[in-house]
Each structure stands twice: as structure tokens, then as C-alpha cells.
Structure 1
Amino acid sequence: MSAALALAPPLTLEEFLAWEPRQDCQYEWDGVQPVAMVGGTYAHAELANRVYDALRAALRGTPCSVIRTDLRVMTAENSRVRYPDLVVTWSPIHPADRTMPAPVFILEVLSETTGATDRGTKRREYAALPSLARYVMLAQDAPIAVVCDRAGSFEERQEHAALELPEFGLTLPLTDLYEGLLPG
């Protein structure tokens, strides 16, 4: 979830990269201004956690890293800074790194305030990353997964379908991911 910054923002990406680590909360850079990342719902956090847990278990013992929200992803030819809900990379990460190198998988959980950006702007930005194999968006209010792959396909999976992540040999039934998170 995000909200535009009301204070005088940094004017360039370089100023943002120097400014952002000193802030009390996390910000993305949309190419023009900082955008504060504000709190989300339990469903939002839990969906990302469930995918994170499944990926960590499936990829244990491999050289990949699965990261939740703390490392930035540079997009749009390194002119924008994003903090996806979950990112996977096969590239080495050093302890002091703040930027995720060569993401192969990105997950965003959609919210009312960020859904349009996640489906539009971020989708285009992530698709331009040469390393990215798959971008997944999960609705938090219905069992829906929107899956975009490197080949350019765009598929929506609903209710009793599964989220298939062939890059990791993993299939996640949507009913399991959403168990206990939806009313009714």
C-alpha cells in the first residue's frame, strides 16, 4: 500500500537513494517522487508470507534467495525503485546490499491503493527486467492469481486453480493459499 509524500521530495533518483535509508518508513521512487509504503491488511501480509514459506521450503539448499519487502528492485532502466512483496533471485547477495540483483520472480499482493499501479506501471517495469521469468499478482479479497511470464503471456487463475511456478518446481493450490483469509 502506498501514499504520495506531502513533504518536499528529493528531485533526482540519486538524491532519493541517499535520502531514503534515513527515513522512518519505506519509500518507493516512481520516477518523479518518493511514494510512502504504508501498512496493509492481515490478508495482504499472510498471502505474501504463505508464498514466501512455500518458496523457502522448496528452494532450501539451492543458491537462491527469497526476500520479503526489504530489498529494493531497480526498474525502468534503473530509474525507479520498487519494493515488491516478495522477490526471488539466483544471484549472490552480499550482507550490506540494499538492492535485489537480477530478480527472477516477483510477487505483489494487490490492494485498493496499489492495485492499478501493480497491474499497469509495475507490470510493464517488471516485464522489462531481463532476468525476470515470472510476475504474480494475488488479489487479497478473492482467490485470484494473475500470472505474467517472460514469454509475455498473461493468465488469470481463480478459486480452485493452482499457482504454478515451474521455475521452482512448485504448485500452490489457491484454496490452500487463501484458507481462512476470506469472509464466509
Structure 2
Amino acid sequence: MIVATKKLTFDEYLHYSDGSDTQYELVNGELIPMSLGTGKHGGIIRFLERRFEAVIEELGHPWIPLATLVGVRSPRGGRWDTSRIPDVTVLPIEQWESLANREAVIELNEAPPILVVEVVSESTKTTDYRSKRSEYAVLNIQEYWIVDPLAEVVIVCSLAEGFYDAVEFRGKNPIVSNVFPELNLTANQVLMIILSC
């Protein structure tokens, strides 16, 4: 669903407000509202943020996982700007702190996130599997997780020579992550979360 008929520049997007609490991604200059998703969608995001945080703390990595708090400016083709808001973003703490006094958007000239996760919903399926996968690869994000509760699969995309190699994990298969090799997690644990996690 497109909200504005007038295309916005990136600067206009950063200062846009319609008086609601709606979060928007900017895609080729157009505002795209981010829906709340189902309770399960939100539960998966919360679960992964907490699991990543536990591993990060245990290993002492100077990283932080953030759920829907950081935008990532995209180099998508065309003259109009694009900015994505991943469901979960893992960043160095230093980079997160550098965003304290400005819009929390990682610019094209800044280091990319370490890892991003998108949880698929019916309305985002094509974007998560195609558009974002291409955009995140161009940004050199080392790992991109596509968590798809509709197809009951977790896909870990690892960057290799500018493209993502994707591996699917289902059921009791342990998820293999280059960013989090110590993560002891199966696809079922991610996909079958309890809403009160």
C-alpha cells in the first residue's frame, strides 16, 4: 500500500510525520507502511532478539541486537531513495551509540549491519525473498535470515563474493550461522515459539 502520491527524498522521509505511530519504509521515494504482523510474527522477532542477545553476552561480543529500531539505507537502483527497517538488526554497540543524536538509519557510507532478519508475512513475501535479499547483498551485510512461518522454514543467506548462498533449515535441523556459530537453535524452536516468550 502506497501512502503518499508525491515521491519523497531521503531527507523528507527522515522528517516525515503523519501524526500516527505508523512506521514506514521508503521504497523508491514512496512511503510503505509496516504492518504490525501477527502475534506469532512479533513473537519470533522478540525470541530471536533475546537469543542473539544471550549469545552475544555469553561470548562478550561488542554487539547489540535491535528489533525494528534501525533503518538501513538501500542502494536500490533509480533516482529515488529506499530505506528498509529489518525486523532484527545486529550491530556493533559503537555503531548503535553513534546513532544516539540522529535518525537511526545506517547510511550508504557507513559499515553495514553484521546480520539482519526479516520475518515473512503474507504481505511481505516477495519483498523479503527478492528485493531485500538483493539490496542487503549489495550493502555487504554478511548474513541475512529469512524466517518464514508460512512455509515453516528458516533460510540463512551468507554473503559470498557479492551474492548470498542460501541454506534452508526445517524441523529439528540445527540452524548453522557464520555470525553465530555457537547458537544452539533449531528451525522448530524459532518457528514454533510461544507468544509469551
* TM category, shorter: 0.7 to 0.9
**Greater Cα offset, 33-42 or 14-23:** 14-23
One-letter code aligned to 2:105: T
> Equivalent residue of 1:163, what SS?
coil
- 2:185 aligned partner: 172
Question: Which of 141, 165, 168 is residue 153 of structure 1 equivalent to?
Answer: 165
Separation in structure 1 between the aligned mates of residue 29 and residue 190 of structure 2, nearest angstrom: 35
- 1:80 aligned partner: 82
Separation in structure 2 between the aligned mates of residue 20 and residue 108 of structure 1, nearest angstrom: 24
- For structure 2, the residue ranges without an aligned partner over 5 or more in a row are none
Separation in structure 2 between the aligned mates of residue 55 and residue 180 of structure 1, nearest angstrom: 15
Q: Does 1:96 align with 2:101?
A: yes
Separation in structure 2 between the aligned mates of residue 122 and residue 110 of structure 1, nearest angstrom: 11
One-letter code aligned to 1:44: H
Counterparts of 1:21-100 in structure 2 under 5 Å?
Answer: 24-60=21-57, 61-76=60-75, 79-90=81-92, 91-94=94-97, 95-97=100-102, 98-100=104-106
Count of matched residue pairs: 178
Q: Is the 8 A contact 2:9 2:81 kept in 1?
A: no
> What's the CA shift for 1:180?
5.2
Separation in structure 2 between the aligned mates of residue 48 and residue 180 of structure 1, nearest angstrom: 10
Distance 1:24 1:175, change over 3 A: closer
> What's the CA shift for 1:149?
0.8
Separation in structure 1 between the aligned mates of residue 170 and residue 74 of structure 2, nearest angstrom: 29
One-letter code aligned to 1:70: L
One-letter code aligned to 2:90: V
One-letter code aligned to 2:152: P
Separation in structure 2 between the aligned mates of residue 8 and residue 122 of structure 1, nearest angstrom: 23
Separation in structure 2 between the aligned mates of residue 154 and residue 62 of structure 1, nearest angstrom: 25
> What's the CA shift for 1:28?
0.3
Q: Is the 8 A contact 2:5 2:30 kept in 1?
A: no
Identity of aligned residues (%): 25
- For structure 1, the residue ranges without an aligned partner over 5 or more in a row are none
Separation in structure 1 between the aligned mates of residue 18 and residue 159 of structure 2, nearest angstrom: 32
Separation in structure 2 between the aligned mates of residue 20 and residue 69 of structure 1, nearest angstrom: 18
Give the TM-score taking structure 2 as reference length: 0.80
Moved over 3 A (4+): 7-10, 20-23
